[in-house]
Every structure is written in structure tokens, then in C-alpha cells.
Amino acid sequence: MFSNLAVSRRVFAKGACRAALAWPLAASAFTASRSVKQFKVASFSLDVTVPQGHPCMGGGVESARQTLDPLFASGIVLLGSGKPVVLISVDWCEIRNDAYDRWREVIAQAARTDPVRVLVSSTHVHDAPVFDLEAQRILDERGAPGKICDLKFHEEIVQRAAMSVKFAMRRAQAVTHFGVGQAKVEGVASNRRYLLPDGTVAFDRTSATRNVLAHAGEEGIVDPWLKTLSFWNGSKPMVALSCYATHPMSYYGQGGVSSDFIGLARWRRQQDDRQVAQIYFSGCSGNVTAGKYNNGDPANRAALAGRLYDGLTRAWQNTRREALRDVEFRSVSLRLEPRSGPGFTPAESEEVIRSTASSFKQNLAALNLSWLKRSDARRMIDVPMLDLGEAQFLLLPAESYVEYQLHAQALRPGSLVIVAGYGECAPGYIPTDVAWQEGDSNLRDWCWVAPGAEKSMKLALQQLLKPR
């Protein structure tokens, strides 16, 4: 357990640190904060449930027909480390391209900070929306029937989130300590990849499956540890940020809007102590699902929620406090080359949108065009990190594979390294080189990055997490 590890005490140097990175990373804008005597934290939460009829999962599943449980955007504003830093977890499937920019720009203005210091992560539940404003405009301009998202609803939510941030900052409370804890979760996460009895590699372990071979196969590469970072005023806890790496679905696609088993577990944990804001982030889990332990029976939603709740509870019980002496914010800019093979060229995507293809295929084509437009403009992806010395909170883009989370942790073996996924979601799956080599069948569509992204991802992690 982390609480039993010998962790060295480190206080990072003050002042600004700048480092030039070789392409494909742009010159990094590293910013370090000055030590101050007092930090403050403000928590906020708002309902972001989509209305009936709104598309879910980018139009890939049944649109919203009923709300089984509400969706929330919850987060904190941390003050006292230079400009404020905002961490937000949103119970949506994905926020992409200009929609992601819009969240960061509007929230940054509300918090009086820079957009790079606004860390927005989606939990990636599937009975929830995907927002890509440019992709929807592309469909509208070409008269395609496909629907990805409602532009007006998105703007309303972003503005409400900004108001929530402003209100929260007025009642920010002093922070003197942070807490770190972790617990192993059993019977939830399993890798999409598993071996068949004859040794053949298979990648068909979905979130829910009745494939007995997928159930019998080994768990595969996962991160079994749920990690919790908390902020305290003396002995009084105020907020707990927890993160665990798995696709967060038990069953989906029937029109029942839900935050699924992660939302149920979070709600149960919140009832334990209503004075401590419970915020949940999905870790890097592009290739991790509950499929080994889940056959899609609706009853399994409660079972999976119970196992995750147990992990949340034990991570809290294992928490130890440390004085909050210094906080440092850093970010590197990352470029991921867009996919350009058959089916992913601009001309092919335009043809699909104008054809009689299914509306979801048209939506995928529009998402590709939106990402290509961003890539052509040389727009980079920010990879930000909040460094507390003995704990780090790091946000990676899109459906990063779990190997990147494990690599980040290995770079700081003496720290509690929390790696959230599903930041800028435009790239889709971000696989490892081995996944490409083995023919990962999940990369046929929801992946918009070219092979070779692993080098760029690991370089970004090394720059962020190198000893200082």
C-alpha cells in the first residue's frame, strides 16, 4: 500500500522553469508557482444531464429517452499557487476539439486564470453525449441528417459551469494539508486484450460480453489501484479527488442516461460524509473494460458499483496527510499526428457525409474532419500536471491506453501519481506501438491518430515527471 512506502520529502524550486522539447513536442511553457503561506480550495458541482432526444455517444447508440440518474460536472479551484488551477470531471462521454477549447476558455475567464490551467476530463460514460461543435457544424453545413450534439445546450452548460466556478470561489476555504491514499479494486478492470486457449491474441473483450472465453481469459494489463488525493484544513477534510482506470459501463445503448456504476459508487461515497466533496476521474482506460467480470446483466451495475465503492472507502481509510508546502503547475504541448490511411482522408470523409451511409458513419467522418482541421492548424494538445511534491495529478488526452498511466507512475515511484484520462478527446484511442503491431481490432474506427504516438506520449510524460 502507498501508506507503507517510504516517500522522500521534496519541496520544488520556486520560479519559472522553461525547457525546449524536440518535435513532436512544441517548446514547453513550464510555469512554477511561488510558495505562499496559505492555499485555498473551492469545490463546485452542477447538473449537466442532457434533455430527452439528445444524441448519446456521438450518435452511436440510442438517443436519450429517460434519465436513470443525473449527470454532473464537478471540480475544484485551487488558489494560492500563482494563477488559479481548475480541475473538472464531467459525466459526458467526450469533449472534443473546439468544444474542449470552449470549456477551458470560459472557465478560465470565470476563474481569472489561463486556459492551460483548466483541466477538463470526461468520465466517458456512454449513455451520455459527445460534444464536438465543429463536427456538428460540418454536418449541418452539408445537410447531413446525422446529429452529434446540440450546440445551444452545450453553450448553456458551459456558461452555467462558469457561474458555478465564480460562486464557488467566493466561499473558498483555507487548505493546510493534502492527503494521499490508495486501495486495490478487485473484480472490475480487465484489458481488452486476452489470449485464447490456443495462444491467439484476441481484442474483443468489450464493456459487457457473454463470450465465455473473454470471461475465462487472464485479466491482462490493468492498473488495479484506485487513488485518492484530498485537501484538508487542519484535521477537516474538504474534497476528495479519486481516479481509477476502467471503461465505466456495465450496460448501455438503450436510451437510459446514466453515470453508470462509477456514478453510483461516487453517490454512495458522498452519502458517507456530505461535507467532503467526492469527485471521480476516469483513468487511462482506452483498452480497459469490465468485460471479464460483466455479462451485461443490468444487475451487474450495482455489483460493479459496490466493488468500486469498496475501493473508494478503503483508499480513504488508507489516506495519510501531509502539510501542503508548495504547489507547482506544469504543462507540455503535445502533437499527435492524425491518421491518414484508407478511410481517414479528407476526401473520403467528405464522400461519406454526402453519401447514403448510416448517420453514425457520417458522424464519424465529421469527427475526423474536425480533428484534421485542428491538426492542419498546428493546434497542440496540452498535457498539464499539478505537482504537490509527494503527489501529482496529471491529465492525458482522449482514450489513452493504460500503459501510459503505468509508465507515468514508474517515472515517480516514490509518489502517488494520479493519471486521469479523457482530457482533449479528439484523438480517440491512443494505443501503444504493440497494439498496432498485434492488430488491435478496436482501432478500426474510434482512433484518429497515426501509428507511432507512443514516442510522443512518453516524451511528454518524461518531461513532466522527471526528477527536479
Instruction: Report d(CA 46, CA 400) in Å as an integer.
Output: 27
pLDDT at 467: 74
- Write the DSSP assignment of 74-92 as a string of letters: EEEEEESSSS-EEEEEESS
pLDDT one-digit tens code per residue, 69-103: 999 999 999 999 899 999 999 999 999 999 999 99
Exposure of 414 in the CB half-sphere (CA atoms within 13 A): 10
pLDDT one-digit tens code per residue, 359-389: 999 999 999 999 999 999 999 999 999 999 9
- According to DSSP, the residues that pair with 177 across neighbouring strands are 232, 323
pLDDT at 14: 32
Q: CA distances (Å), 316 to each of 4, 242, 260, in order?
A: 15, 9, 22
pLDDT at 171 over 80: yes
Question: What Rg, from alpha-carbon coordinates, does the chain have?
Answer: 21
pLDDT at 81: 85
Cα-to-chain-centroid distance, residue 241: 13
Q: Which residues of 252-280 are buried (b: 16+ CB within 10 A; e: fewer)?
A: beebbbbbbbbbbbbbbbbeeeeebbbbb
Nearest to 280 by CA among 131, 47, 90, 117: 90
Instruction: Report d(CA 281, CA 261) in Å as an integer.
Output: 13
pTM metric for this prediction: 0.92
Instruction: Report d(CA 33, CA 327) in Å as an integer.
Output: 7
Mean pLDDT of the 165-177 span: 98
Q: What is the mean pLDDT of the chain?
A: 92
Mean pLDDT of the 46-67 span: 98
Place of cell 472490475: 188
Nearest to 281 by CA among 384, 411, 394, 410: 394
Instruction: Report d(CA 112, CA 398) in Å as an integer.
Output: 26
- According to DSSP, the residues that pair with 330 across neighbouring strands are 385
pLDDT at 37: 52
pLDDT one-digit tens code per residue, 284-328: 999 999 999 999 999 999 999 999 999 999 999 999 999 999 999
pLDDT at 451 over 50: yes
The CA-CA-CA angle for residues 109, 394, 366, to 5°, reads 70
pLDDT at 394: 98
Residue 324 phi, psi (nearest 5): -85, 100
pLDDT one-digit tens code per residue, 181-224: 999 999 999 999 999 999 999 999 999 999 999 999 999 999 99
Q: CA distances (Å), 435 to each of 24, 332, 426, in order?
A: 21, 25, 19
pLDDT one-digit tens code per residue, 100-146: 999 999 999 999 999 999 999 999 999 999 999 999 999 999 999 98
pLDDT one-digit tens code per residue, 243-281: 999 999 999 999 999 999 999 999 999 999 999 999 999
H/E run at residue 429: strand 429-430
Is residue 96 a contact partner of residue 423, using CB atoms and an 8 Å limit?
no
In percent, the amount of the chain with pLDDT more than 90 equals 90
Is residue 64 a contact partner of residue 56, using CB atoms and an 8 Å limit?
yes
Question: What are the residue boundaries of the structural domains of the chain, listed by start?
Answer: 2-465
